[in-house]
Structure 1
Amino acid sequence: MTNHRFTTRIGAALAALCAVLAVTACGAPKPDASDLDKVTFMLSWAPDTNHIGVYVAKHKGYYREAGLDVDIVAVTQSGAEQAVNNGVADFALSNLTNVSTYATKGAQLKQVMQVQQKTSAIWCALASNDAITRPKDFDGKVFATFGSNESDAVVRRMIETDGGTGDFDKVTVGTSTFATLSSGRADFGGFYSTWEGVQAKMNGPELRCFSEPDYGVPGNADSIGIITSDRLISSDPDLVKRFVQATQRGYIDAYEDGDEAAGILVHDAPEANLDEAFVKESMKTIIDGQYWGDRKSIENGTATLGAIDYDGTQQYFDFLAESNAYTDATGKTVHTAPQSHDLATDEFLASGAH
């Protein structure tokens, strides 16, 4: 894969992060396994390029250097957020929108690193479906959904912005949105440009897609990153700092060399049966699209990979609240938007790491 190289970034990143971590000196003997703090990281779904920095950090020994023995585990049926809230997992991949949704139901979660800085969601029909050429055409059609109020609000806003009424039918997706559309059970559904969008370009079926920022949905809906519990932050902030900064190193390396990171993910997550060419293309899409932040700004230290996008996420939370998408634990609509500054923190990042 073609990469825009940061010629000075790796050496500077290692020096900066070693100094901040202050756990073991770079190049020092690796700590004995018995001296490591055991940490559980839970996937949000099957292993993919959203998780890749965690795999890179583990593969390259960054967690061991930070005094951590990290176990990467499959997501539970109740979901990664619930597992973290209940103490089943210490950390997980999620996004700040999910944190806000669970917060309205009483969960005590916090995002401690936001990897993705812009929306990658795309809303698509099969290119062979001539009845859909713009979001307005979703009116009266069948939406392949996983059942969230959030996705309903997004689709409705896109339709209305494009001049439609925002009325559509729904069918719950089983295992694959692609299969649901191909079978004719639904007319359109949600995908991600950095994963399913790549799959469609490489292997089909061809899609016709629309992005939500182009059709009236404000802010950053896809604030993917690392979450933990308020309980762990309170009881062991040093452990949180060590995990976050070692993970930050992994994502920095992946943003530098997508091909190398892809090979690590494929090798270290064999249960996912990932095609390396596909994973490389996904990383190329992330890097070329600068989904994890402006690369020049990260290189020169004026931006930090993993920083929270408080403004963009708050705009999206306000939109969801206005759309009556939030509910409390009893199912009652919550009209007051959660506040991103209450649900996320940059305090554990190595600022200026590049």
Structure 2
Amino acid sequence: MRKTVTRVFAATAAIAASFALAGCGGASNTADSSNTKLTKVTFMLAWTADTNHIGVYVAKNKGYFKDAGLDVDIIAVSKTGAELAVNNGVADFAVSNLYNAASYTDLKGAHIKQVMQVQQKPSAIWCALASNTAIKSPKDFDGKTFATFGGNESDIVIKRMVQYDGGKGEFDKVTVGTSTFKTLESGQADFGGFYSTWEGVQAEMYGPKLNCFTEPDYGVPGNGDAIGIITSDKLIKENPELVRKFVQASQKGYEYAYSNPDDAAKILVKEAADYHLEEAFVKKSMHVIVDGQYWGDPAKIKDGSFVLGTNDFTGTQERFDFLGEGHAYTDANGNPTDKVPQSKDGATNEFLKGAK
């Protein structure tokens, strides 16, 4: 029986609730079993637990947070999304991406920052079932049906890939139901979006087999998958030392996972037991990340010329500008706007250990 791994592909859906809501909650003091005072903080998942979150689970398991004086509670994503939860103080930190941090801040009235960018290059793949022999390259998406999660950012990416490959960039759309895999298998759509480090692993290990194409190979600039950790401007202003402690302990967790992928996989499976992850699957996902150098060049991390977690303002701005040319953006009310988000407004490297 084929395993099913669920994760939402589109991270850019419009937020219906206003970012102007007042926040409550935030960090507080608690005591552990040894009566040592620890500061309690909350970390929210961005979807289900997966290898994008693994460094935080490792930091918790290895005691890196405790050593920093923190008691970290990892919580499920809220219905309104991690970004709104962090903005309103429901969660102190969360996994998100620089696209959301900058676009929500510049266009939708949020006050959030990405304080650590784990993923340094795109992992998005655009695929058809391998059994669909009518699709051999992106130009064959013309006239076919795209399984979408909504929003027009992905439409612009697909259009560029098709046109780069010699097609017109004209296709129909259908909203994904329970999963993109099932939408394709049902025949409702011909192609859709996945992540090579997760759904790509699922397809390889359990099926269905996919025929996939990557964005850089077909003229799409920048990095739209700058996944990392966000917090609120309010917490940065009121308690920068807490932010520094959390970021550097998490950074240490991701560094450990990058150097010890198999052990980190075991930790994620154990610590995120409610998600019933299969160890072999998580190990494979981690090895795809390491082999593909998705978190940076390990040699450069080792010699100190690159700091794991550094926010990439250049690659992300290239993506913002590209999407701006395609009129992708909407404001807090859902109205089109030609204002282009700025990466520098959505991220900071000031809390990373070793950042220059």
Residue 176 (structure 1) aligned with residue 208 (structure 2) = no
**Higher helix share goes to which structure?**
1
Counterpart position of 2:16: none
Q: Is the 8 A contact 1:143 1:189 kept in 2?
A: yes
Q: Show CA shifts across 1:305-325 (max 9, x none).
A: 000111000100111111111
Equivalent of residue 69 in structure 2, options 67, 70, 81? 67
Counterpart position of 1:191: 194
CA distance in 1, matches of 2:339, 2:311: 21
Counterpart position of 2:229: 226
Q: Show CA shifts across 1:256-292 (max 9, x none).
A: 0000000000011111111100000000000011000
Residue 338 (structure 1) aligned with residue 344 (structure 2) = no
Deviation at 1:245, TM superposition (A): 0.2
AA aligned to 2:302 is: E
Give the secondary structure class of the aligned counterpart of 2:73: strand
Q: Is the 8 A contact 1:298 1:352 kept in 2?
A: no
CA distance in 2, matches of 1:118, 1:262: 21
Q: Is the 8 A contact 2:102 2:347 kept in 1?
A: no
CA distance in 1, matches of 2:143, 2:283: 38
Counterpart position of 1:261: 264
AA aligned to 2:350 is: E
Q: 1:31 to 1:62 in 2, by over 3 A?
A: farther
- Range moving further from structure 2, 139-148 or 259-268: 139-148
- Range moving further from structure 2, 96-105 or 121-130: 96-105
- Range moving further from structure 2, 147-156 or 306-315: 147-156
Counterpart position of 1:306: 309
Q: Is the 8 A contact 1:198 1:281 kept in 2?
A: yes
Q: Is the 8 A contact 1:114 1:226 kept in 2?
A: yes
Q: Which runs of 5+ in 2 are unaligned?
A: 1-31
Residue 49 (structure 1) aligned with residue 36 (structure 2) = no
Residue 285 (structure 1) aligned with residue 288 (structure 2) = yes
Q: Is the 8 A contact 1:138 1:168 kept in 2?
A: yes
AA aligned to 1:38 is: K
Aligned residues: 324
- Range moving further from structure 2, 147-156 or 113-122: 147-156
CA distance in 1, matches of 2:244, 2:354: 12
Equivalent of residue 96 in structure 1, options 92, 95, 98? 98
CA distance in 2, matches of 1:337, 1:160: 23
Q: Is the 8 A contact 1:31 1:65 kept in 2?
A: no
Deviation at 1:332, TM superposition (A): 2.0
Deviation at 1:99, TM superposition (A): 1.4
Residue 58 (structure 1) aligned with residue 25 (structure 2) = no
Give the secondary structure class of the aligned counterpart of 1:217: coil
Q: Is the 8 A contact 2:57 2:271 kept in 1?
A: yes
Q: Is the 8 A contact 2:101 2:113 kept in 1?
A: yes
Residue 244 (structure 1) aligned with residue 247 (structure 2) = yes
CA distance in 1, matches of 2:117, 2:59: 16
Q: Show CA shifts across 1:194-233 (max 9, x none).
A: 0011111111111000001111110111100000111111
Q: Show CA shifts across 1:6-57 (max 9, x none).
A: xxxxxxxxxxxxxxxxxxxxxxxx9945511110000000000000000000
Counterpart position of 2:41: 39
Q: Show CA shifts across 1:43-95 (max 9, x none).
A: 00000000000000000000011111100000011111111111110100000
Deviation at 1:100, TM superposition (A): 2.5
**Alignment root-mean-square deviation, CA:** 1.4
Counterpart position of 1:159: 162
CA distance in 1, matches of 2:140, 2:283: 34
AA aligned to 2:147 is: A
Q: 1:106 to 1:256 in 2, by over 3 A?
A: same
CA distance in 2, matches of 1:289, 1:339: 27
CA distance in 1, matches of 2:146, 2:345: 33
Counterpart position of 2:19: none
AA aligned to 2:172 is: D
Matches of residues 114-133 of structure 1 in structure 2 within 5 Å? 114-133=117-136
Counterpart position of 1:79: 81
Deviation at 1:163, TM superposition (A): 1.6
Counterpart position of 2:274: 271
Residue 210 (structure 1) aligned with residue 213 (structure 2) = yes
CA distance in 2, matches of 1:227, 1:69: 18
AA aligned to 1:65 is: D
AA aligned to 1:296 is: A
Deviation at 1:168, TM superposition (A): 1.1
Give the secondary structure class of the aligned counterpart of 2:321: helix
Q: 1:115 to 1:31 in 2, by over 3 A?
A: farther
Deviation at 1:101, TM superposition (A): 2.7
Aligned-residue identity in percent? 66
Q: Which runs of 5+ in 1 are unaligned?
A: 1-29
CA distance in 1, matches of 2:77, 2:211: 31
Q: 1:32 to 1:239 in 2, by over 3 A?
A: farther
AA aligned to 1:121 is: A
